[in-house]
Amino acid sequence: MIVLCPECSLNISDLAMFCPHCGYPVKNKPINTVENVKHPKLPSGFGQISKLKNKNLQKPYRVMVSVKPIASCKSHSVPLKPVSYFKTYYDAFAALVEYNKNPEGYVNSYLTFEELFKNWYERQTDISTSMRHRILSAWNYSCGLYSSPVVGLKIKTLRSYIESCKAPLSIKPVMKQLYNQLFDFAIEDDIIDKNPARSFVLNKNIKRQINENKRTHIPFSDIEMSILWQYMLKNQTIDMILVQCYSGWRPTEICELKTENIDFKTGIMIGGIKTRAGKNRIVPIHNKILEILEHYYDPNKTYLFTNKGKHMSYDLYREHFIIIMQGFKFNINHKPHDGRVHFVTSAKKYDMNEYAIKYIVGHNISDLTERIYTRRSIEWLKTEIQKIP
């Protein structure tokens, strides 16, 4: 009868005194004893031991364990790490017993960077749409780290990856900020003890290149404004630019402008993000953009400006903005922020009160008397903004 050698797993006779392949002594050894033993069923959640049918495997017993990542409701089976294949059933069982002594520690040890991000991202409910776009953009450029265990990501690895990856220069600081938050989250969940991302700063050359590549914001020229007015109510992006030029909204803020915050009766808009002074600020409706606001106002819509009935993202607005600039052959250095710059430039040109400008655009007011003790009325803001012709 042909049996398997317990040492090299090759075919030998059950009458052989030793294996002709590896020399293993088999006389008087119950070669088939282990094979004939019926192993007890393992408890639920304890793990799985399966024997692979490949006869050439020296370690045919594979161990799988069920893990549930932090903050996740679903568990899934993964091979035991760092070793998942064993020579005998009892070796595999011993490894499984060792794992079950501290399964949580095992999950933490092999939680990947991608799993950490998913768990963290699910909890981010209080961030703006534009910030989500920035986060996802930074995460897409982090694909080289997805499968890396969180506990194995060190300072040198993270810094080298950010500095050498092909992400645009403007995205690299966002990647650094994202990693800061992800590892803070990992500390909160007792996965790691120290945040490696907060232990280094980006290469000075990257910051220098970013500063060099920054283009100065410029207002629109009189000729450019004249052309934009000719196409009022004919193109939504042009109308959004005109509204910016007479209200000072940031490009992201105008995309987030809600219809419920447009009050034609009192002649104001409410909106704004980013800073404490800029959030939920009051912006008077200038007479020149009243018709535009009325044209797009629909109480059944959430946002004033939309794209095919859905929210207009900053990225999409930027794409449309560039198309307009190129189509009219405007200054190639124009950016979506320039409408806000145009407003401030015009306001100063026509002697609008300095504090009125700061209230409208959401800039911080350092003067204690003005910020704390002076109460400015909406009518005063409306009078000031109308100084812009």
E strands in 257-341? 262-263, 268-271, 281-284, 306-307, 310-311
Give the residue among 156, 151, 158 at the shortest CA–CA distance from 186.
151
- 3-class state of residue 3 by DSSP: strand
Q: What is the reported pLDDT for 125?
A: 82
Q: For residue range 215-249, list pLDDT tens digits in order.
A: 678 999 999 999 999 999 999 999 999 999 999 99
Q: For residue range 45-74, list pLDDT tens digits in order.
A: 788 898 888 778 888 899 888 776 554 556
Tell me whether domains 113-213 and 222-385 share a fold: no
Does the structure show a pLDDT above 50 at 30?
no
Does the structure show a pLDDT above 50 at 34?
no
Where are the domains positioned within the chain? 1-32, 39-110, 113-213, 222-385
**H-helix segments, 123-213:** 129-140, 155-164, 172-188, 204-213
Instruction: Return the residue matching tokens 């080289």.
Output: 144
Return the CATH architecture of domain 113-213: Orthogonal Bundle (1.10)
Q: Provide the mean pLDDT of the chain.
A: 84
Q: What is the reported pLDDT for 238?
A: 96
Residues whose CB falls within 8 Å of the CB of residue 260, separated by 6 or more in sequence, listed in order: 299, 302
Q: Which two tokens stand for residue 91?
A: 């070796």
- 3-class state of residue 25 by DSSP: strand
222-385 — its CATH code? 1.10.443.10
Confidence of residue 120 (pLDDT cuts 50, 70, 90): very high
* Neighbouring C-alpha atoms within 13 Å toward the C-beta of 376: 22
Give the residue among 144, 92, 146 at the shortest CA–CA distance from 118.
146
Give the residue among 165, 362, 213, 346 at the shortest CA–CA distance from 280.
362
Mean pLDDT in residue range 272-276: 65
Q: What is the reported pLDDT for 328?
A: 95
Better-scored residue on pLDDT, 32 or 100: 100
The answer to whether residues 250 and 284 touch, using CB atoms and an 8 Å cutoff, is no
d(CA 371, CA 106): 55
Q: For residue range 86-99, list pLDDT tens digits in order.
A: 888 888 888 888 88
Confidence of residue 43 (pLDDT cuts 50, 70, 90): confident
The answer to whether residues 363 and 277 touch, using CB atoms and an 8 Å cutoff, is yes
Q: How far is CA 188 from its chain centroid?
A: 19
Per-residue exposure over 338-375, b if at least 16 CB sit within 10 Å of its own CB, e if not: bbbbbbbbbbeeeebbebbbbbbbbbeeeeeeeeeeee
